[in-house]
Structure 1
Amino acid sequence: MENFDRQKIVQSVPQRGFFGQPKGLFTLFFTEFWERFSYYGMRAILLFYMYTEVVDGGLGISTETATSIMAIYGALVYMTGVIGGWISDRLLGGQQTVFYGGILIMMGHIVLALPIGVTGLFLSMLFIILGTGLLKPNVSNVVGDMYSPKDNRRDSGFSIFYMGINMGALIAPLIVGTVGQEYNYHLGFSLAAIGMFLGLVVFVVTRKKYLGLAGTYVANPLGDAEKKKVIKRFGIGAVIIAILLAITIPTNILTITTFTYLISFLGIAIPTAYFIVMYRSPKTDADERSRILAYIPLFIASMVFWAIQEQGSIILALYAKERTELSFLGFDIYASWFQSLNPLFIIILAPVFASLWMKLGDRQPSTPKKFSLGIILGGISFMILIFPAVINGTETLVSPLWLVLSFFLVVLGELCLSPVGLSATTKLAPAAFSAQTMSLWFMSNAAGQAVNAQIVKLYDPSTEIFYFGIIGGIAVLLGFILFAFSKKIQVFMRGVL
């Protein structure tokens, strides 16, 4: 995109009005608030719904299979962001792609709210996976559109936006989790559907006035000849997939186990292919190629961090229900409530971090150094869970304060890495691949969860010390390596801070 066009987009957005940020941040803040309410409300009870016995309102799936499904589900949700980025960059633009994504997500939650068993589970997953792939990367990319490249409010704005995401994630487990565990899982899922509907209402009603031209352009539109080729290829691909499913499912070649291995492979292969395509594209200039090289170690660091953070709704959810004393100071606690700890700490600390980066200005740590600190803290958040097992063994219930401390540490790491990563992605992205690079950022989460699909099978109270110790130790080691090479990475970023 030309600089003139970018400046025209920035000028079309009212620049003051939401905590000193562009007014469009209000629209995107509350759109993501309700989308995250629906997603994290659903995730707070989904694992329990899958492995709870049928007579108790669940699906009766084995715990090992349920944890793998959770990881693969999370991987696919972020993996399809590549599709969403491509559709935005080449067909619809960000705003329209966000809208259609929200529609699909709402449909997915509606299906999950219906008592139609395993069929409903996988159908709802399909809708939510595709919908989140359309919405998630593009709503963040539209945030970036509202700021000029040199606007010092950018990191602060992304931190505020990130706080909105986590406000939705905070209240969702408390509301959806309580209703789902106390009364009925399907009633809880219906509340998630209502949340996405409210997000769509906010987006549709306010986008014209507050977003201006942000997200309305198509960065790299398809020509007429290209559209025909794409339609033909999609058609052929759909037929091939249908034939393969028709052959492999009845013959048990494609099972949940083989599917998890396939997604784990794709979680690494897809971002690798994307880096190669962007780097070799004739639409990418020399500075942009250098920035792509700088982005690779940041991507790997992000992948390692999310592999730990996303286990908060898988292994730590199991840990909460099976290994934790579910009462504190005389009050009973639902296991799903622990899912609110991460967003609670983010809401408390995000303004502190946003203010800190603003106050430090040019003296703040470089992006690679922030990333290194993030994964070190993520690793420590796992390593501290060794101590209750060493002190009291794995046969007794542990204090909920250990989980609180673990979530607190991973949030400190998240605030060093995630909002900064969103901002860095919008600045390092090649112009012709702007939305797709944002999709690539979310692919780091998908890659981490794709790896998790194999790792979570290894967790058991008997292996608890080794599980948390080895994974946490690897993250800490990689964090120190990234810190050592941070200056070299900064050189490749070609002036981007």
Structure 2
Amino acid sequence: MSEQTEIPTSDRGFFGHPRGLATLFFLEMWERFSYYGMSAILLYYLYDQTSDGGLGLDKPTSSALVSIYGALVFMSGIVGGWMADRLLGMRRAVLLGGLLIMCGHLALAVPGGLPALLVSMLLIVVGTGLLKPNASSMVGELYSPADNRRDAGFSLFYMGINLGAFIAPYLVGTLGQQVDYHLGFGLAAVGMAAGLVVYVRGRARLGQAGDAPTNPLLAGERRQVALRAAVGVAVLAVVVAVLGATGFLTVQVLINAVSVLAVLLPVAYSIMMLRSPKTDAVERSRLIAYIPLFIGAVCYWVVNEQSGSVLAQFADTRTDLEIFGFAVPSSWFQSLNPIATLVLAPTFAWLWIRLGDRQPTTPRKFATGLLLGGASFVLMAGPGLLGGVDALASPWWLVASYFVVICGSMCLSPVGLSATTKLAPRAFLAQMMSLWFLASAAAAGINAQLVQLYRAETEVAYFAGVGAAVMAAGVVMHLITPWVQRRMGGVR
């Protein structure tokens, strides 16, 4: 950290942490409230009949659109990080991102059909790419390198993320499903607006953290970047115009294009780092060891990222929504993921500390996460096998599935973040973190094709097949653990 952005360790105004953490905590809480609130009702808005306020799309296309939405959001972080580092600085990038997100939700708050949806997606994707990675980076800027509060500060920040995700389905979901979808999207916009108010009023607490670009473009570079950007926009405009004129500009073409891009981007990133002269022999070996971990992460996220598509559809169409005599909206099931995370994250953190040197190696943890992730989907084949696909299933099947998959996440997600920082070549520390998040983008891109196979007649085979495939990946990871471990260059 630079001397200008360092915050003194005497600043303990927010639960023993810098006061700036409160600003970022509540910003992130409200941003996640808006995003997960929108996500809780998006699928239902896409496939509900127009007479009920929806767009009337078919269910497979709706699920695929939700998946590519997720893929684009994860991919946009690369652009957002670059914009902050080279042009805007993290602080301005976060502010601009929040404004774009709010405008994106407002675009859906007004009935505008499919065009409004596409405008909303564009604004929220770009806005999230600007806000998410840079808000997280600013948390790190609040602490000096020697400040041992850093990890605990990120844990508090992580709680804010899950708190917003937990609350959103109950408020936005209820309003959207039981009153009007557009009012629900409007409430998501209000949530983002609340986050922006907190951020603007609390920016003084951040000191100079994120105030300027860390690697600003020089005058000559600015002209070159502007020229490349103009050429890129022009080429994209020509492609869109040609596709539109020939009748090939369809939703399915968009879905397919994003799916291909989501898979090719991490491949290109990996090849670039492996071939770089800045990567030495030991780092290259670690990168090779990282590849099966990355593939394993993609396999896991294929299951986890279907919570807003296939599992949301199951909750809406296949689940008995009367719980303890009370009829609940199907969107409420979207809160199970953050609930399970809030309960299980401290439990697993305690477990790894308690085991100490006896805890499993990184590849073993990944393998366990894959087995649990796959098992959560195999479990969802149970209702169709036992009661048929025409009868409503008990809601406890979904509850059990969510808790099993989050147990898998605890073995894989934080472990993967840690492994990424430990295995990264020194010249590509930041880009390796971008690569890790591209695992979720690749999984969402794959899901955009996969979820179109889900329907009532394929339900049992779908859950059992996808779950078994992910569990098989876990078995393979267990088998190749010695090979991976040898190439990790001493990293455990």
TM over 0.5: yes
> Residue 51 of structure 1 aligns with which residue?
47
**Within-5 A mapping of 1:292-371:** 292-371=287-366
Distance in 2 (CA, whole Å) between partners of 1:149 and 1:487 is: 34
- The Cα of 1:95 is off from its aligned counterpart by 3.2
Superposed CA deviations along residues 237-286 of structure 1, whole A, max 9, x for unmatched, are 10111111111023222211122111111111111111222333445555
Task: Say whether 1:165 aligns with 2:165.
Answer: no
Separation of aligned partners in 2, 1:488 and 1:24: 44
CA RMSD of aligned residues (A): 2.7
Q: Identify the residue that residue 199 of structure 1 maps to in structure 2.
A: 195
Q: Find the aligned partners of 1:411 and 1:21 in 2 and give their Cα distance.
A: 28
For 2:249, the aligned partner's letter is L
Distance 1:180 1:395 in 2: 26
Residue 168 of structure 1 deviates from its aligned partner by 0.6
CA contact (8 A) 1:13 1:146 kept: no
Aligned match of 2:32 in 36, 56, 65? 36
Counterpart position of 1:440: 435
TM-score, with length taken from structure 1: 0.90
Query: Aligned equivalents of 1:492 and 1:148: distance in 2?
Result: 32
How has the CA–CA distance of structure 1 residues 23 and 198 changed in structure 2, closer, same or farther, with 3 Å as cutoff? Answer: same
Specify every segment of 5 or more residues in structure 2 that has no aligned partner in the other structure, as ranges.
none
Question: Any gaps of 5 or more consecutive residues in structure 1?
Answer: none
CA positional deviation for 1:119: 1.6
**Distance in 1 (alpha carbons) for counterparts of 2:107 and 2:199:** 23
Alignment-derived partner of residue 176 in structure 1: 172
- CA distance in 1 between partners of 2:470 and 2:102 (Å): 36
Instruction: Provide the rounded CA distance (Å) in 2 between the counterparts of 1:136 and 1:273.
Output: 23
The aligned residue for residue 22 of structure 2 is 26
What displacement does 1:401 show?
A: 0.6
Q: Cα gap change, 1:223/1:286 in structure 2, threshold over 3 Å: closer, same or farther?
A: farther
- Alpha-carbon distance, 1:336 to partner: 0.6
Q: Deviations over 1:157-209 (max 9, x none)?
A: 54443332111111101000000011111111111111112222333333442
Residue 225 (structure 2) pairs with residue 225 (structure 1): no
User: Is the 2:7–2:18 Cα contact (8 Å) retained in structure 1?
Assistant: no
1:7–1:148 Cα contact (<8 Å) kept: no
Q: In the alignment, what sits opposite 2:392? A: 397
Alpha carbons 2:368, 2:408 under 8 Å: kept: yes
Q: Determine if contact 2:9/2:143 at 8 Å carries over to the other structure.
A: no
The residue type paired with residue 42 of structure 1 is M
Contact 1:155 1:354 in 2 (8 A): no
In the superposition, relative to structure 1, how do residues 291 and 225 fare at CA in structure 2: closer, same or farther (>3 Å)? farther
Instruction: Report the equivalent of 1:77.
Output: 73
Alignment check: 8 A CA contact 1:156 1:357 kept: no
Give 2:244's aligned residue. Answer: 249
Aligned partner of residue 57 in structure 2, secondary structure: coil
Question: Which residue matches 1:108?
Answer: 104
User: Which residue in the other structure is 2:455 paired with?
Assistant: 460
Report the equivalent of 1:382: 377
Q: Is the 8 A contact 2:9 2:147 kept in 1?
A: no
Would the aligned equivalents of 2:7 and 2:143 in 1 still touch at CA under 8 Å? Answer: no
Greater Cα shift, 91-100 or 336-345? 91-100
Deviation at 1:362, TM superposition (A): 4.8
Distance apart, 1:398 and its partner CA: 0.7
CA contact (8 A) 1:43 1:313 kept: yes
For 1:108 and 1:60, the matched residues in 2 are separated by: 21
Query: How far 1:385 sits from its partner (Å)?
Result: 1.1
Cα separation, 1, equivalents of 2:350 and 2:13: 18
Shift of 1:496: 5.0
| Structure 1 residues 87 and 489, CA gap change in structure 2 (3 angstroms) | farther
- 1: CA distance between counterparts of 2:87 and 2:46? 37
- CA distance in structure 2 between the aligned counterparts of 1:362 and 1:206, rounded to whole angstroms: 42
Which deviates the most, 478-487 or 67-76?
A: 478-487
Which one of the candidate residues 114, 118, 124 is aligned to 1:122?
Answer: 118
Match of 1:258 among 253, 256, 272: 253
Does the aligned pair in 2 maintain the 1:88–1:97 contact within 8 Å? yes
Deviation by residue 1:298-351 (Cα, 9 ceiling, x = unmatched): 222221111111111101111111111111221101111110111111122222
Letter of the structure 2 residue corresponding to residue 76 of structure 1: L
State the match for 1:136 in structure 2: 132
Shift of 1:30: 2.2
User: CA offset at residue 49 of structure 1?
Assistant: 0.8
Shift of residue 46, structure 1, vs aligned partner: 0.8
Q: Which moves more between the two structures, 480-489 or 33-42?
A: 480-489
Q: For the Cα contact (< 8 Å) 1:219–1:434, is it kept in 2?
A: no
Q: What is the aligned-residue identity percentage? A: 52
Q: Per the alignment, do residues 413 and 155 of structure 1 end up closer, same or farther by CA in structure 2, a change over 3 Å counting? A: farther
1:60 matched to which residue of 2?
56
What secondary structure is seen at the aligned counterpart in 1 of 2:393? Answer: coil
Q: Cα distance 1:325–1:193, how it changes in 2: closer, same or farther (>3 A)?
A: same
TM-score (norm 2): 0.91
**Post-superposition offset of 1:152:** 7.0
Aligned to 1:477: 472
In the TM superposition, what is the alpha-carbon distance from 1:25 to its structure 2 partner?
3.9
> Hey, what's the Cα distance between the residues in 1 that align with 2:426 and 2:4?
16
The C-alpha deviation readout for 1:81-110, integer Å capped at 9, x for no partner, is 121122233333433322221121111011
Question: Which amino acid letter does the alignment assign opposite residue 107 of structure 1?
Answer: C
**How many Å separate the matches in 1 of 2:434 and 2:407?**
24
